[in-house]
Chain A
Amino acid sequence: MDFFDFSFPIRISMPTAWESHIYRQTVLIVLSIIFVSGAITFFFRNKNYYFVQSWASIKSWLIAAPLMFIVMGLPEPWPLVFLTALAILGAKIFFQIMGMFHRSYFVLLCYAGIIGLGICAWYDRLDIYNSMPMIVLGASCLVPLIRNSYKRMIQYMSLTLLAFIFLGWSFMHLGLILKFPNGVYQVMYLVILTEFCDNTNLAVGRYIGGWRMFPGINPRRTVGSTATSILLTLFLAGSMRFLLPDGSDKYWLASGLVASLGGFVGDLVMTVVRRDAGMKTVGPFIIGRGDFLHRVDRLIFVAPIYYYVMTVIL
């Protein structure tokens, strides 16, 4: 009996990714890799810093990966709702880092804007989607008038717009990608590639030295570790190209490069934000290393670049 050739005992009226052979195969491959690496790392988890970090990362993915597959396998619009909720969670962490989480008017405005982006993505209204940053900026300019206060309002307006652009407009391109052919697979493809690139860079950074690219921002990112992580990510992108609607070389090469280079820039930009705000992390996300923003910071650059690259290529 073919493992992937089973049918659900209860038919779901709306088509879901779970009914696809490719989706189940992907789930099996990815979860197997995570669980096998988890099982190996578990025994060495206290051996040295590298294994401590690896185990922490794998632990978080032991929970996050099945959750991601379950949600992405749900019928529409639940994957989009899930992405919108993640964007709001990311914005929340951003506001906490920037110390304006309790400036409720601005925070709620940003959340409302993100929900608006989700609705635009659902209805394929790219025109309104791209106007949303202006709408949020315009609305946030009204807050000082409503509050009848000017103190630090430039700071709050700027940070609200930054939060909305990064965690809303940029991140929610994943919602637009969902609308592509096999969009669910492409979103998962991007998440897996960016996370893999981040972990690889961290892992090999201790062993492969070389010139430090941005010592003032992140001294751990060297030319050697970055180049190695890009090559390994490209290899993974090629291995998992069956998730793309077209398996030809230009698609997986473009995807791999966007995921690794865009992710690299996204990671550094959010490090700049964190360092300027004077904090490293808000709190642990699930049980892994870093907070939620650490997990999505690469995607805020990857998602829009991937979207436009694919729009041109497809």
Chain B
Amino acid sequence: MKDWNYENEQWTKLPTYLKHLPLFTRHIDMFSVFMRFLWSIFLKNVAFKFYIRLQVKGTPFKEIYRTQPKLIIISNHASHLDAVSIAASIPRRYWLNLYIAAAKDYFFTNALFTFFSKHCLGAIPIDRKDRRGEAINLILKLLTELPRMWLIIFPEGTRSKDGKIQEFKRGVSIFSERTQTPLLFTYLEGNMELWPKGQPIPLPGKLVLHVGPVHPPGPIQQVYAAYKQWVLTINPNAFHETANEGEGETKDDSEQV
């Protein structure tokens, strides 16, 4: 008689903070589905309706979803509102294919944060100090093997202190080029004013999400230049005015995480 194959790798091989990711099962936990539904109701129908007035400008996500089963959504990053703002602007029915790259040392620090990050955000933990590339491999595996996946990632790596867009780190290009996943440009206007770094809770107000063009995979300098060109058409003051801009763009990639 043949041995039964239990296929329980999801529960035997993965650490707790990765069990929510469909790495072996290709399915989302029903509990996560339920929690994400509750979170989407709070986010879309309460928080981003009454407390923060979110306005989406540009191509509707519905149209993009039809042509782009896999996409890396990049945006400027100045507050903790950013990822949830983008998620709130994406229709609920696409949420189960939506993932957010989140710093492991912040979003997976205690049981409560881990629960929220896993089940509500669908967060993929990124260990910022990891030099073995485990987080990169994790995202590459998901982008390669899942039939549909939208990944929200902030190429600046960390929140901007002054609201100006910083140099992009090369991780985004690695994911994009190795898996041939196109990039969707988005720009959040007003995030810095609503929840700047160091402030405990967000302020009520208006937030605008600009949805831009889909950019083909390419080296980070090229992506940064294209993103900058697009953002400048919306906000000419989004970047630092530096005399030697070109120098930053040609910086050695090995210095960047």
**Contact surface of A with B, Cβ cutoff 8 Å:** 92, 96-102, 104, 107, 152, 155, 277-279, 282-284, 287
CB–CB A97/B11 < 8 A: yes
CB–CB A99/B8 < 8 A: yes
Given contacts A101-B25, A279-B12, contact A155 B19 (CB under 8 A): no
CB–CB A279/B11 < 8 A: yes
CB–CB B7/A99 < 8 A: yes
Asked whether any CB of chain A lies closer than 8 Å to the CB of B27, the reply is yes
Given contacts A102-B27, A104-B30, A283-B19, contact A278 B11 (CB under 8 A): no
Docked pose: A86 CA to B5 CA in angstroms: 27
- Shortest Cβ distance from A253 into chain B, in angstroms? 40
CB–CB A99/B6 < 8 A: yes
**Contact surface of B with A, Cβ cutoff 8 Å:** 4-12, 16, 19, 25-27, 29-31, 111
Docked pose: A97 CA to B16 CA in angstroms: 14
Given contacts A101-B25, A102-B25, A102-B27, contact A96 B8 (CB under 8 A): yes
Among the listed B8, B16, B31, which residue makes an inter-chain contact with A278, where contact means beta carbons less than 8 Å apart? B8
**B25, B29, B30, B111 — most chain A CB neighbours (10 Å):** B30
Residues from chain B with Cβ under 8 Å of A100 in the complex = 6-7
Given contacts A101-B25, A284-B16, contact A279 B4 (CB under 8 A): no
CB–CB A283/B16 < 8 A: yes
Residues from chain B with Cβ under 8 Å of A287 in the complex = 111
Residues from chain A with Cβ under 8 Å of B10 in the complex = 96, 99, 101
Residues from chain B with Cβ under 8 Å of A107 in the complex = 30
Among the listed B5, B8, B19, B25, which residue makes an inter-chain contact with A279, where contact means beta carbons less than 8 Å apart? B8
CB–CB B6/A277 < 8 A: yes
Docked pose: A155 CA to B6 CA in angstroms: 9
Residues from chain B with Cβ under 8 Å of A277 in the complex = 6, 8
Docked pose: A132 CA to B29 CA in angstroms: 26
Docked pose: A279 CA to B7 CA in angstroms: 11
CB–CB B27/A96 < 8 A: no
Residues from chain A with Cβ under 8 Å of B11 in the complex = 96-97, 99, 101, 279, 282-283
Docked pose: A96 CA to B20 CA in angstroms: 12
Residues from chain B with Cβ under 8 Å of A97 in the complex = 6, 8, 11
**A102, A277, A279 — most chain B CB neighbours (10 Å):** A102
* 5 interchain residue pairs of minimum CB distance: A99-B8, A99-B6, A99-B7, A102-B27, A96-B11
**B10, B11, B111 — most chain A CB neighbours (10 Å):** B11
- Shortest Cβ distance from A119 into chain B, in angstroms? 21
- Shortest Cβ distance from B20 into chain A, in angstroms? 11
- Shortest Cβ distance from A109 into chain B, in angstroms? 13
CB–CB B19/A278 < 8 A: no
Docked pose: A285 CA to B8 CA in angstroms: 19
Docked pose: A98 CA to B10 CA in angstroms: 11
CB–CB A155/B4 < 8 A: yes
- Shortest Cβ distance from B25 into chain A, in angstroms? 5
- Shortest Cβ distance from B186 into chain A, in angstroms? 32
Residues from chain A with Cβ under 8 Å of B31 in the complex = 92
Besides A99-B11, A279-B11, A283-B11, 11 more A-B contacts (Cβ < 8 Å) are A92-B31, A96-B8, A97-B6, A98-B6, A99-B7, A99-B9, A100-B6, A277-B6, A277-B8, A282-B11, A283-B16
- 9 A–B contacts from the bound complex (CB under 8 Å): A92-B31, A97-B8, A97-B11, A99-B8, A102-B26, A107-B30, A152-B5, A282-B11, A283-B19
CB–CB B12/A278 < 8 A: yes
Docked pose: A277 CA to B30 CA in angstroms: 22
- Shortest Cβ distance from A241 into chain B, in angstroms? 38
Residues from chain B with Cβ under 8 Å of A282 in the complex = 11
Docked pose: A104 CA to B27 CA in angstroms: 10
Docked pose: A100 CA to B26 CA in angstroms: 12
Residues from chain B with Cβ under 8 Å of A101 in the complex = 10-11, 25, 29
Name the residue on B nearest A277 (C-beta): B6
- Shortest Cβ distance from B31 into chain A, in angstroms? 8
Residues from chain A with Cβ under 8 Å of B111 in the complex = 287
Name the residue on B nearest A280 (C-beta): B12
Residues from chain B with Cβ under 8 Å of A155 in the complex = 4
Name the residue on A nearest B26 (C-beta): A102
Docked pose: A99 CA to B6 CA in angstroms: 5
CB–CB A98/B16 < 8 A: no
Name the residue on A nearest B15 (C-beta): A283
Docked pose: A90 CA to B34 CA in angstroms: 18
Docked pose: A261 CA to B12 CA in angstroms: 30
Docked pose: A144 CA to B172 CA in angstroms: 43
- Shortest Cβ distance from A199 into chain B, in angstroms? 23
Name the residue on A nearest B28 (C-beta): A102
